[in-house]
Amino acid sequence: MPAVDEHEIDLAAAWRLNPQVTLRPESFGALAYHFGTRRLSFLKSRALLAVVQRLAEYPDALSACRAAGVGEAELPRYRSALATLAGSGMIVRQEAPR
């Protein structure tokens, strides 16, 4: 799978939490632990946690952001956070059903 630029993400694409990642909700947001790479990432808000938890339920990342209540003005910040998570393998593109 090609590497994802940690500064860019296609919000029109379908994404999901990597199956090798577990989330632990915390008061500040969540901890994300990747069992394959043994990397730990911090989701720095509850709203970002809500977006990541919803990714697989929606046809694209933008819809997941909207469902979590992310407004237009906040979208660049969430795009950047999701790009960082994609760049570290915490979230991956969701394959289309066959």
Q: What is the tens place of the pLDDT at every residue in 18-42?
A: 999 999 999 999 999 999 999 999 9
Rounded-to-integer distance, Cα 88 and Cα 58, Å: 21
Beta-carbon count within 10 A of 54 CB: 18
pLDDT-based confidence at residue 88 (cuts at 50, 70, 90): very high
Structural domain that includes position 43: 17-91
Residue 98 confidence (pLDDT) above 70: no
Q: Is residue 4 part of a domain?
A: no
Task: Identify the burial level of 86 via C-beta atoms within 10 angstroms of its C-beta, where 0-12 means exposed, 13-18 middle and 19 or more buried.
Answer: buried
Residue 6 confidence (pLDDT) above 80: no
Q: What is the total count of domains within the chain?
A: 1
Q: Is residue 10 part of a domain?
A: no
